[in-house]
Structure formats: structure tokens, C-alpha cells
């Protein structure tokens, strides 16, 4: 293991499941202080109506306020394609820095073209407060946290390790859910396999928290597992599946998947760190590029 890890630190983790997008947002508190981070918040959208609301984010804010916590960080594990981030909305109320992987610039370049954004859309990640490189550390209260670069699902994916706990974003699903797709622009199944190996190289009893769960085969929604459980039972990578096996399987599966329902609004908002784009008069406005995704 190339990263120093302190398994004696157990952050307090509170999970908020968003049933509309099957996303799990987390509040992770430093056990030695009242400081916390939010990982992968959700902003609600009724896309058919063009209506954005904040019930999910308000629940996170209410919990932080009622527990008297200080919000240090608002982390995005990646640019999500299936839900909108509420990071700026939360930051406005509670403060904290918005952090994402520094390869966000690749994502911004790719989707800046897809959405034919003008020069006012900066492709330098400047919409975020911090851009993490592989192995970068930051603090939540007194707790050391580390971002590990895990591309493959998207070019900017990071896993965040805090003590004996890791927030894996979309590198892995629960063992019976397998792994995330790797066919978005900039995604790559082989790269995802390599990134998953980084997660599986963490200590066996490290707690892993998923970003999504779809309750496969009718089981109840779940989001917490361990490295050991993933290594033994993950249906896509467990039991020592080879890179070749995984790549073949992943590519075949991805060819059958429809685009996520909210990919068009999600990308436009999330590549701006959660800010809704505006038209030339400053009105919040989304585009639908035709036959480009």
C-alpha cells in the first residue's frame, strides 16, 4: 500500500438516499471534532417541467445545522451524469470548499464542445475551490483525508479516503451490483479495472460507501460494504477476475445501456460545479444538443 492509512480513525457517516436518482449523499464527521464534509450532494430536478428544487440538499443542511457541525468540504467524487449537484446551494448556506479531481478540465473540454459553450465557460476548473491530484491530502477538522485518482467511469473520478472509510464514487457498486459503466466520453473499461484494483488494494476491513445503489434482484437499498466483501463477492471484479474478462464484459454490457435520464441537465450543471448555466440575458437555461451524445 503506497498510501499511509490510519485505520484507527472511524469517521461518523450519515447517509441520505435520493430515491429519484438512486444516489447516496453522505455527511462524514471527523470523530475528533465537530467538523464534517459532504460527499456527492443532490439537487432535485423535474426535468419535464424545468423545475429545480432543493429538498434533498435542505435535509443535509438541516442535519448539519441541528448537529452543530462545521462544514469544511463539499466533495464531488466526479462529474455525475445521473443527478445534479447541490454544492453551490449548500456552500451558500453553510460555507465549505467545493473539491473535485483536477481532470475536471478534460471533462469540461469534452462537454464544452458537446454543448457548444462559448468562451465564458472556463475549462480550467476555476468553478471549483480545489482541484485534487492523485494522493492529495486535505483536512476535515483534524482528520486527514486523501483523494485517490480512479478514472475509467469518467476521466475525473476520485475515491476519497478518511481514516478507515472510503467513499468510492462510481468505481464500484455493492458486490451484487458490480461496477459502473465505462462508456461515457473519456471513459474506459480497462482504466476502470485498474482503478478498481486501487480500491481493492486498500485494507480488507476498510469500510466502502457507494454513490449509487439500485437494489438489484429486489433487495433493499444498501450502500456500505468492505474491501474484503468486494474482493470476494463483487459480480464484476470479485474472485480475481482478469482485466481481459472485465473489459469484455463491461463493453458488452455498456453497449446495451440507455443514456441516464438526467444526463443532459446533469452534465451542464455539474461541469460548472453545480451552477445552472444562464442564457445571454442571465436567465437560468439548459440546452439539449441533438444527436451528439
List contacts with Fe ion (CB under 5 A).
80, 170
Nearer to Fe ion, 37 or 180 (CB): 180
Nearer to Fe ion, 98 or 267 (CB): 267
The C-alpha atoms of residue 153 and residue 230 are separated, in whole angstroms, by 18
Exposure string for 81-96, b = 16+ CB within 10 A, e = fewer: bbbbbbbbbbbebbeb
Size of the chain, expressed as the number of residues it contains: 293
First to last CA, the chain: 38
Q: What are phi and psi of 64, to 5 degrees?
A: -65, -40
All three cell numbers of 254, joined, read 455498456
Nearer to Fe ion, 164 or 234 (CB): 234
Nearest approach, Cβ of residue 211 and Fe ion (Å): 7
The C-alpha atoms of residue 161 and residue 211 are separated, in whole angstroms, by 14
Nearest approach, Cβ of residue 182 and Fe ion (Å): 11
Which residue has the closest beta carbon to Fe ion? 170
Instruction: Tell me the C-alpha to C-alpha distance, in Å, between residue 186 and each of 48, 100, 140, 154, 199.
Output: 28, 16, 31, 6, 20
Three-state SS for 216-282 is HHHCCCCCEEEHHHHHHHCCCCCCCCCHHHHHHHHHHHHCCCCCCCCHHHHHHHHCCCCCCCECCCC
Nearest approach, Cβ of residue 252 and Fe ion (Å): 20
Nearest approach, Cβ of residue 169 and Fe ion (Å): 7
With contact defined as beta carbons under 8 Å apart, do 23 and 59 qualify? no
- Which run of H or of E encompasses 108? helix 104-114
Nearest approach, Cβ of residue 69 and Fe ion (Å): 26
Nearer to Fe ion, 69 or 75 (CB): 75
Nearer to Fe ion, 71 or 182 (CB): 182
Nearest approach, Cβ of residue 83 and Fe ion (Å): 9
Nearest approach, Cβ of residue 168 and Fe ion (Å): 11
Nearer to Fe ion, 72 or 102 (CB): 102
The C-alpha atoms of residue 237 and residue 173 are separated, in whole angstroms, by 11
Nearer to Fe ion, 29 or 181 (CB): 181
All three cell numbers of 53, joined, read 428544487
Nearer to Fe ion, 93 or 253 (CB): 253
Nearest approach, Cβ of residue 178 and Fe ion (Å): 14
Amino acid at each position: 500500500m503506497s498510501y499511509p492509512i490510519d485505520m484507527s480513525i472511524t469517521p461518523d457517516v450519515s447517509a441520505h438516499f435520493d430515491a429519484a436518482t438512486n444516489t447516496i449523499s453522505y455527511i462524514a464527521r471527523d470523530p475528533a471534532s465537530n467538523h464534517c464534509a459532504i460527499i456527492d450532494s443532490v439537487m432535485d430536478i423535474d426535468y419535464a417541467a424545468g423545475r429545480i428544487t432543493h429538498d434533498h440538499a435542505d435535509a443535509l443542511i438541516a442535519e448539519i445545522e441541528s448537529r452543530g457541525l462545521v462544514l469544511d468540504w463539499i466533495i464531488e467524487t466526479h462529474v455525475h451524469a445521473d443527478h445534479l449537484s447541490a454544492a453551490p446551494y449548500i456552500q451558500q448556506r453553510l460555507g465549505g470548499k467545493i473539491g473535485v479531481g483536477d481532470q475536471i478540465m478534460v471533462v469540461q473540454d469534452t462537454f464544452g464542445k458537446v454543448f457548444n459553450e462559448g468562451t465564458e465557460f472556463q475549462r480550467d476548473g476555476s468553478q471549483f475551490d480545489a482541484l485534487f491530484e492523485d494522493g492529495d491530502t486535505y483536512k476535515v477538522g483534524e482528520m486527514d483525508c486523501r483523494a485517490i485518482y480512479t478514472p475509467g467511469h469518467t476521466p475525473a473520478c476520485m475515491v476519497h479516503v478518511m481514516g478507515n472509510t472510503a467513499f468510492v464514487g462510481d468505481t464500484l457498486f455493492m458486490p451484487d451490483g458490480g461496477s459502473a459503466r465505462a462508456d461515457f466520453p473519456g471513459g474506459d473499461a480497462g482504466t476502470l479495472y485498474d482503478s478498481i484494483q486501487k480500491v481493492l488494494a486498500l485494507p480488507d476491513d476498510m469500510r466502502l460507501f457507494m454513490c449509487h445503489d439500485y437494489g438489484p434482484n429486489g433487495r433493499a437499498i444498501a450502500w456500505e460494504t468492505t474491501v474484503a466483501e468486494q474482493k470476494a463477492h463483487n459480480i464484476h471484479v470479485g474472485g480475481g477476475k482478469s482485466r481481459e474478462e472485465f473489459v469484455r464484459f463491461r463493453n458488452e454490457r455498456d453497449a446495451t445501456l440507455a443514456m441516464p435520464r438526467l444526463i443532459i441537465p446533469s452534465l451542464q450543471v455539474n461541469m460548472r460545479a453545480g451552477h445552472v448555466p444562464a442564457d445571454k440575458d442571465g436567465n437560468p437555461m439548459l440546452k439539449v444538443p441533438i444527436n451528439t451524445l
